[in-house]
């Protein structure tokens, strides 16, 4: 049997290694000592603490209990046994240990802090808060108590108070990785993204391989639009822990935003293989398939997500969108209703339900529900503190119509302006600056303000008694039925000098049908399944007797060059910024063809012939008609099923060929008549 001196030497050596972080060496020394003296209380205790610190709490508990059996009056032993129980979620046993420690040592601030954390984990927040404050009264420099109190305030939404305690913890212990991580989470929630990034990175430097930090850092990088950095973050984390299902799912989200859909699907499926109950992965798979236009697959995955979380309002709403795209309107209505039952104030679901009613031609119900959109930008309405207009006549007053949504929506709603003008003495229209000259020329009795939506000081000069109507609310009062759309009274007028300029340019191309074309929109990256592949458009561009003129916002020149495509002419025109020039060009074209974009609406408003190419039936501006009640010249071409573009483009090619032949015949008719004479 070894002497007490040699045993104490082994214990001291083990403790030294333990303090230096050499846990394997310390463990070997503790175990060697216990071979000599199996009931040595300090060795049992320290080995138990070491096992707990290295993630082996279940193995630590018997050792700590043996230590207490040897020395039942040591409060530290009880405290550390409580910590092991707490990590394992054995709350009642942990609480008993901390309470025992405090009976022996009422000044044990650490035990108050840990007892508070145990109470907090059980939802006893008031009692937990009392414990934390007692701990800090005893020891104002106790880092753990500041961190724990910070987590409590964070859980209660008191972010400023939480940040203050995390910051105090870091003042006391700058190397406290947990405080850096928690403070980063709070700063992120407060919108202080740059500061949050710095603290996440510090936490990783102090504790490399901490997966929670990688996860949250990746999410923040994604929120900041740093997609490649977010991707690298998740990939690095997965290199450390390939079996982390949540990391696979979050990487899938980033890859989806990078438009790498197949890779995203792979990681979602890997997440589900590792953790079949990971409901977020099913929901995210549904989102990818919806964007790809595979609505049946989207429905399957949304339903699987809802089987586990039936009251998930966002997924119910997305399920409704997928059903709507499939033309299953009853199921879509049911999905929106379920979403609203779960969350009655869910604006997106209210708007989706309203648009579906409009798709079905149920105009009065649809327009009423469409008013929910105003809640998305309630602050905007504060710039127009006037009496709401509800369609009434007041011939001596002023009506101000405020702009909202996108350019295409402004054009749709502008079709109501002649009717609104009849019901008021003076109409003031706010619009996109790019539209102002067109609208002012076409509606000479309307005062057009095109200063941009961030400049609303002009509203203060409006007379007393002014009434206000957001542009999107005009149809509610002026278009309650389909019959109210006719006769169409607004036709935009392009500038004469622009008409002359572009007719001369088009004539210079040579004889043939002149067709303006868009093959993608600015939203294509966000809704890939809604737009035909460029290869289908190339079939049309190969047709004889047609001059194709690009109407892409960016001209599409680089894309056309990459395709080796020379059959589409790119005009020297800023399609995005110069709508005066665009209107002049459209006025000279025989036809405009493209997906549902603002330029399609502009062509309709100018009275041009327009073909609108869409992936599925039920675009809301059709209002259940199959056509376009807003503009008579717009015709819809609808794919017969998801991804079935081949049939649609074949039919379009056939009709375009006929139009080209007719144009060629018209061009040669005078000469032929002269020869006949």
Domain-embedded: residue 570: yes
Alpha helices in 374-514 (DSSP H): 378-381, 407-414, 417-422, 436-442, 474-478, 496-509
Asked if residue 515 and residue 457 are part of one domain, the reply reads: no
Query: Three-state SS for 256?
Result: helix
Domain final residue pick, 109, 140, 171? 140
Asked if residue 74 and residue 45 are part of one domain, the reply reads: yes
Cis geometry, peptide bond prior to residue 487 (ω within 30 degrees of 0)? yes
Q: What is the pLDDT of residue 79?
A: 96
Asked if residue 513 and residue 447 are part of one domain, the reply reads: no
pTM: 0.81
Alpha helices in 326-362 (DSSP H): 329-342, 347-359
Domain final residue pick, 117, 140, 163? 140
CA geometry: angle 532, 625, 480, nearest 5 deg: 125
Asked if residue 500 and residue 479 are part of one domain, the reply reads: no
Q: What is the pLDDT of residues 193-250, one digit of tens each?
A: 999 999 999 999 999 989 999 999 999 999 999 999 999 999 999 999 999 999 999 9
Domain final residue pick, 111, 140, 169? 140
Domain-embedded: residue 578: yes
Q: What is the pLDDT of residue 667?
A: 63
The b-or-e profile of 222-239 (16+ CB within 10 A means b, else e) is beeebbebbbebbeebbe
Max Cα separation, the chain?
134
Q: State the burial class of residue 160 (Cβ atoms within 10 Å of its Cβ: 0-12, 13-18, 19+).
A: exposed
Asked if residue 505 and residue 479 are part of one domain, the reply reads: no
Asked if residue 135 and residue 10 are part of one domain, the reply reads: yes
Domain-embedded: residue 188: no
Asked if residue 122 and residue 93 are part of one domain, the reply reads: yes
CA–CA distance, 7 with 182 (Å, rounded to integer) = 42
CA distances (Å), origin 6, targets 10, 13, 29, 33, 37: 6, 10, 12, 9, 11
Domain-embedded: residue 70: yes
The whole domain housing 585 covers 496-667
Asked if residue 607 and residue 503 are part of one domain, the reply reads: yes
Domain-embedded: residue 503: yes
Answer yes or no: are the C-beta atoms of 30 and 46 closer than 8 Å: yes
Asked if residue 601 and residue 520 are part of one domain, the reply reads: yes
Number of domains composing the chain: 3
Domain-embedded: residue 536: yes
Residues lower than pLDDT 70 in the chain: 1-4, 522-529, 667-677
Domain-embedded: residue 361: no
User: Tell me, what CATH number does 571's domain have?
Assistant: 3.40.50.2000
Residue 68, Cα to own-chain centre: how many angstroms? 54
Domain-embedded: residue 357: no
Asked if residue 650 and residue 606 are part of one domain, the reply reads: yes
CA geometry: angle 344, 346, 349, nearest 5 deg: 105
User: Tell me, what CATH number does 447's domain have?
Assistant: 3.40.50
Asked if residue 585 and residue 441 are part of one domain, the reply reads: no
- Closest by CA position to 471, among listed 422, 411, 387, 421: 411
Asked if residue 642 and residue 529 are part of one domain, the reply reads: yes
């Amino acid at each position: 049997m070894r002497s007490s001196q040699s045993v104490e030497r082994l214990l001291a050596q083990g403790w030294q290694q333990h303090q230096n972080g050499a846990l394997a060496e310390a463990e070997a020394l503790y175990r060697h000592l216990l071979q000599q003296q199996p009931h040595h209380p300090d060795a049992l205790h320290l080995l138990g603490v070491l096992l707990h610190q290295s993630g082996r709490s279940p193995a630590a508990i018997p050792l700590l209990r043996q230590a207490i059996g040897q020395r039942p009056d040591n409060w530290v032993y009880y405290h550390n046994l409580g910590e092991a129980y707490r990590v394992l979620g054995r709350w009642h046993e942990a609480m008993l240990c901390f309470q025992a420690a405090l009976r022996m040592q009422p000044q044990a601030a650490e035990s108050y802090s840990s007892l508070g954390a145990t109470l907090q984990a059980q939802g006893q927040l008031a009692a937990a808060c009392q414990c934390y404050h007692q701990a800090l009264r005893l020891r104002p420099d106790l880092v753990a108590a500041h961190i724990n109190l910070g987590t409590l305030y964070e859980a209660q939404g008191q972010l400023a108070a939480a940040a203050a305690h995390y910051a105090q913890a870091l003042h006391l212990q700058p190397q406290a990785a947990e405080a850096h991580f928690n403070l980063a989470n709070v700063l992120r929630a407060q919108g202080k993204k740059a500061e949050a990034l710095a603290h996440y990175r510090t936490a990783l430097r102090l504790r490399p391989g901490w997966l929670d930090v990688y996860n949250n850092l990746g999410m923040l990088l994604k929120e900041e639009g740093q997609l490649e950095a977010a991707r690298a973050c998740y990939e690095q984390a997965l290199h450390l822990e390939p079996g982390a299902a949540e990391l696979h799912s979050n990487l899938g989200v980033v890859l989806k935003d990078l438009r790498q859909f197949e890779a995203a699907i792979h990681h979602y499926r890997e997440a589900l293989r590792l953790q079949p109950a990971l409901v977020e992965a099913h929901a995210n798979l549904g989102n990818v398939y919806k964007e790809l236009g595979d609505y049946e697959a989207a429905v399957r995955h949304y339903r699987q997500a809802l089987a586990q979380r039936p009251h998930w309002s966002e997924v119910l709403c997305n399920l409704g969108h997928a059903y709507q795209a499939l033309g299953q309107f009853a199921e879509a209505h049911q999905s929106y209703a379920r979403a609203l039952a779960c969350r009655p104030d869910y604006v997106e679901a209210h708007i989706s339900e309203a648009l579906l009613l409009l798709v079905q031609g149920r105009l009065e119900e649809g327009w009423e529900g469409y008013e929910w959109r105003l809640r998305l930008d309630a602050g905007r309405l504060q710039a127009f503190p006037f009496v709401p207009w509800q369609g009434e006549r007041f011939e001596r007053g002023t009506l101000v119509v405020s702009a909202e949504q996108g350019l295409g929506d402004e054009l749709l709603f502008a079709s109501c302006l002649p009717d609104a003008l009849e019901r008021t003495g003076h109409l003031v229209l706010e619009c996109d600056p790019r539209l102002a000259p067109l609208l002012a020329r076409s509606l000479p009795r309307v005062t057009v303000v095109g200063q941009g939506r961030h400049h609303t000081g002009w509203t203060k000069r409006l007379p007393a008694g002014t009434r206000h109507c957001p542009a999107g609310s005009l149809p509610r009062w002026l278009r309650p039925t389909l019959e109210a759309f006719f006769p169409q009274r607004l036709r935009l007028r392009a500038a004469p000098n622009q008409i002359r300029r572009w007719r001369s340019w088009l004539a210079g191309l040579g004889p043939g049908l002149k067709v303006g074309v868009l093959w993608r929109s600015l939203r294509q990256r966000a809704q890939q399944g809604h737009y035909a592949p460029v290869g289908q458009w190339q079939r049309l561009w190969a047709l004889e007797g047609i001059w194709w003129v690009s109407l892409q916002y960016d001209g599409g020149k680089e894309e056309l060059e990459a395709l080796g495509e020379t059959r589409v002419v790119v005009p020297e025109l800023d399609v995005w910024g110069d709508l005066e020039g665009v209107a002049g060009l459209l006025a000279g074209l025989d036809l405009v063809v493209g997906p549902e974009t603002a330029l399609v609406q502009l062509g309709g408003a100018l009275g041009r012939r327009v073909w609108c190419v869409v992936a599925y039936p039920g675009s809301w501006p059709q209002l259940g008609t199959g056509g376009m009640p807003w503009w008579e010249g717009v015709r819809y071409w609808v794919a017969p099923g998801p991804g079935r573009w081949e049939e649609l483009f074949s039919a379009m090619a056939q009709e375009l060929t006929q139009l080209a032949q007719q144009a060629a015949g018209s061009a040669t008719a005078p000469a032929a008549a002269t020869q006949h004479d």
